[in-house]
Structure 1
Amino acid sequence: MPSPSRRRVTVSRGLSLACAVAAAGALLTACGDDKDPAQTGSAPDNARASMSRADSASGSTSPSPSPSGSAGGLTEDQSERKTLVPKAKVGYDKAMDAAVKAVNGSKPVSIELKGPSDKPDWEAEVATGDGTKSTVRVDAVTGEAGEPRTDSDQDGDDKKELAGLLSKAKVGPKQAADTATGRTKGTVTSVELDDTDRGGPMWSVDVVNTSDWNKTTYDIDATDRKVLREHVDRD
């Protein structure tokens, strides 16, 4: 049987070992608590956090996408007008006269500048007294009129309606265009006879401003030259 002094030595050694183990555990716990919170996530998360902190420090931001549109800040339609309109050496009025001469006894119904820009032309529509409509293409560079093509889709009612509008129109297309350009300086690219909500005749005139290439449409009463509507197309 061991003596009391030996038992005291054994107990003392046991207590010392236990204290050492406890101290080591406390030390490991303290080291774990000192970790940076940003390092507790996964590797990709830590990388993103580091990049975010770097960007914030440098003041850099992700580039914003540039707005759509063509060079010079023009829209697609504005760019097309800028390309096409200057290529027309013959104005709408002379082209309209050439179309009317191509069909005996006709009056102008509509005219519009068409592309492509390397071969622009005016597409004109004229009609005889009974309302029969024909299409005539006029070269926008030379002013030469092509062969007239009669509209085969017209029926009797269509002819009667068109003949009625022409007979009621006391204001001609050139007068209507002058009214439009008196309000907006620019180039006339379209003139068209149409009817109002009340059934009366009116001219719809497009004017392109060659400084910003916007298009303004005027609806003008064909009986008294009153402006019924004005709309600016900035697209």
Structure 2
Amino acid sequence: MKRNIVIASVAAAALIGGGAATAVAFGGSGASDTSSAAAASSTPRSSVSVPDDDVNEDAREAKAATVSAPQAAAAALKATPGTVTGIDLDQDRPGLVWEVDVLGKDNKWHEVTLDAGNAKVLNQRVEHEGDDDHGVARARAELKGASVGAVAAAEKAAASYGTVTSVDLDDDHRGSAVWEVETVTKDGKEHKLNVDPRSGKVSVAPRDGDADGDDD
């Protein structure tokens, strides 16, 4: 998942010197390789599995999932109260899952893995990297003033562009943050969209080298 925006910014600075659930791409890579491997091996399997094939992978995952991004966010918040800071549909070792990052009320980042077929919580863990006060403060600052959260951004994008597979916050978008939403339509076409966190305006994300995308 794309959860490295804030942590990368904080790390770079050190070297020079995530109502409705809301999603912002904050957090770090978390536990050590050893503990991550142990957690993966003990995680219950999802009820949904998609063949491992890079061809139209996102389209097949979107079609197979019966739990939507907003539903996954709601289930994650029941397990870990706080603010959702990332949502991603992924074919992983447990099968097809939603990985939801939550900035908890304890000011720590939590990753909740949910079955993409029934929203059952398969695993939860605390991501220790990035729990510093600076990182949390940065996350809170990005959330402040955003009237459109991840769920609302997902719903706006889905209205015209199909099934949402990912919602993240890009805090380096020409000086102002935007929600980055990835979707897949029934014909298998993938879309990358930007949703303004204040106005809710949806636009097609510019391709590399383009200055702007097309407005919705």
Question: TM-score interval w.r.t. the shorter chain?
Answer: 0.5 to 0.7
Runs of at least 4 residues of structure 1 off by over 6 A? none
Q: CA deviation at 1:188?
A: 0.6
The one of 210, 229, 234 equivalent to 2:186 is 210
Q: Which has the higher helix share?
A: 1
**Is the alpha carbon distance of 1:149 and 1:199 closer, same or farther for their aligned partners in structure 2, counting shifts above 3 Å?**
farther
The answer to whether the 8 Å contact 1:90/1:143 transfers is yes
Indicate yes or no: 2:111 matched with 1:135. Answer: yes
5+ residue gaps in structure 1?
1-75
Q: CA deviation at 1:229?
A: 4.5
Indicate yes or no: 2:86 matched with 1:110. Answer: yes
Aligned-residue CA RMSD (Å): 2.6
Q: Distance between the aligned counterparts of 1:77 and 1:231, measured in 2?
A: 24
5+ residue gaps in structure 2?
1-52, 208-216
The equivalent residue for 1:158 is 135
**Is the alpha carbon distance of 1:178 and 1:142 closer, same or farther for their aligned partners in structure 2, counting shifts above 3 Å?**
closer
Cα deviation 1:155-199 (Å, max 9, x = unaligned): 3221111111122321111211122123x3311101113324465
Q: Distance between the aligned counterparts of 1:142 and 1:170, measured in 2?
A: 29
The equivalent residue for 1:86 is 63
| Residue identity matched to 1:215 | E
**Is the alpha carbon distance of 1:194 and 1:130 closer, same or farther for their aligned partners in structure 2, counting shifts above 3 Å?**
farther
The answer to whether the 8 Å contact 1:112/1:123 transfers is yes
Cα deviation 1:115-141 (Å, max 9, x = unaligned): 159820000111135752111001101
**Is the alpha carbon distance of 1:186 and 1:229 closer, same or farther for their aligned partners in structure 2, counting shifts above 3 Å?**
closer
Q: Secondary structure at the match of 1:141?
A: coil
| Residue identity matched to 1:168 | G
| Aligned 1:52-131 pairs, distance under 5 A | 77-104=54-81, 106-116=82-92, 119-128=95-104, 131=107
Cα deviation 1:62-93 (Å, max 9, x = unaligned): xxxxxxxxxxxxxx744223432222121111
Query: How many equivalent residue pairs?
Result: 155
Q: Secondary structure at the match of 2:194?
A: strand
Q: Distance between the aligned counterparts of 2:111 and 2:67, measured in 1?
A: 18
Larger Rg: 1
Indicate yes or no: 2:191 matched with 1:192. Answer: no
| Residue identity matched to 2:197 | A
The equivalent residue for 1:177 is 154
**Is the alpha carbon distance of 1:229 and 1:186 closer, same or farther for their aligned partners in structure 2, counting shifts above 3 Å?**
closer
The equivalent residue for 2:195 is 220
| Residue identity matched to 2:200 | R
Q: Distance between the aligned counterparts of 1:216 and 1:117, measured in 2?
A: 26
The answer to whether the 8 Å contact 2:69/2:151 transfers is no
Report sequence identity in percent: 29
The answer to whether the 8 Å contact 1:134/1:151 transfers is yes
TM, length-normalised to structure 1: 0.58
TM, length-normalised to structure 2: 0.63
